[in-house]
Amino acid sequence: MLAVTPLASGRVADVYALGADRVIRRCRDGGDVRAEADLMAYLRAQGYPVPEVFRADGPDLEMTRLAGPTLAEALVTGVVDIRSGARILATLHDRLHALPTRASPDPTARVLHLDLHPENVLVTADGPVVVDWGNAGEGPPELDVAMTALIVAEVATDPASPYAALAGDLLTAFLAEAGPVRLLDGAVGLRARTGPLDARRLAQAAARVWTAHE
């Protein structure tokens, strides 16, 4: 039997190491991860950096265990500098948005992650790898970029966060890489449904995205 040990937890899921090579990500609220697993298999076949999925069963997703810190950890410890971190995020967006969609007939639609922030990127020896595809969809790529900016701005405007200043610097550097944010209102609307913050805090974060452009 392989040892199963808790590895990490997010807001939605707990991740357990399954031996040295695999993890199980278990959604605490149950659900069905098959669509997420199908998308990950598709992206991997397209050459996009996601973990290999071995099994998807109800709330459980069994996948490659990635070795390396999250991009958030790497930024905090200085293993990755702010400019490189911003470039990693912008490049992951560009690569994702260059792929063909699977469902949408709209020629301008792209595959979107919609939660592409530094805790969902692992920095491995083979390069950055993106996890946590539970919010993914298809639509305008500018919405995905706006979501990343907004999520980073949520940290930058959190007075209780020890990483607020770092997040502010990352936001500025990300906008320098990704260009001006469009569809921020759409991102705020989506984040109001999927994120942890109330409307007042979201408005503060959105305002921070605008000031970061100046």
- Contact positions vs ligand ATP (CB under 6 A): 7-8, 10-13, 15, 23, 25, 51, 63-66, 70, 115, 119-120, 122, 131-132, 134
User: SS3 helix, strand, coil % of the chain, rounded to 5?
Assistant: 45, 20, 35
Closest CA to 183 of 214, 139, 152: 139
Nearer to ligand ATP, 7 or 79 (CB): 7
Contact between 70 and Mg ion by CB under 5 A: the answer reads no
Q: How many residues bind Mg ion (CB under 5 A)?
A: 3
- Least distance to ligand ATP, CB of residue 24, Å: 9
- Binding to Mg ion by residue 132, rule CB under 5 A? yes
Question: Is 164 in a helix, a strand, or coil?
Answer: helix
Q: Give the interface segment with Mg ion, choosing from 43-51, 129-137, 171-179, 194-202 (CB under 5 A).
A: 129-137
Residues 8-67 that bind Mg ion (CB under 5 A): 10
Q: Which residues of 37-70 are buried (b: 16+ CB within 10 A; e: fewer)?
A: bebbeebeeeebbbbebeebeebebbbbbbebbb
Q: Give least dist CB 213 to ligand ATP, A.
A: 26
Q: Which is nearer to Mg ion, 10 or 172 (CB)?
A: 10
Q: At what angle do helices 199-212 and 184-194 cross, to 10 degrees?
A: 150
User: Binding to Mg ion by residue 120, rule CB under 5 A?
Assistant: yes
Is 73 a binding residue for Mg ion by CB under 5 A? The answer is: no
Spatial distance between the Cα atoms of 207 and 185, rounded to a whole number of angstroms: 11
Query: Can you give the binding site for Mg ion, defined by CB under 5 A?
Result: 10, 120, 132
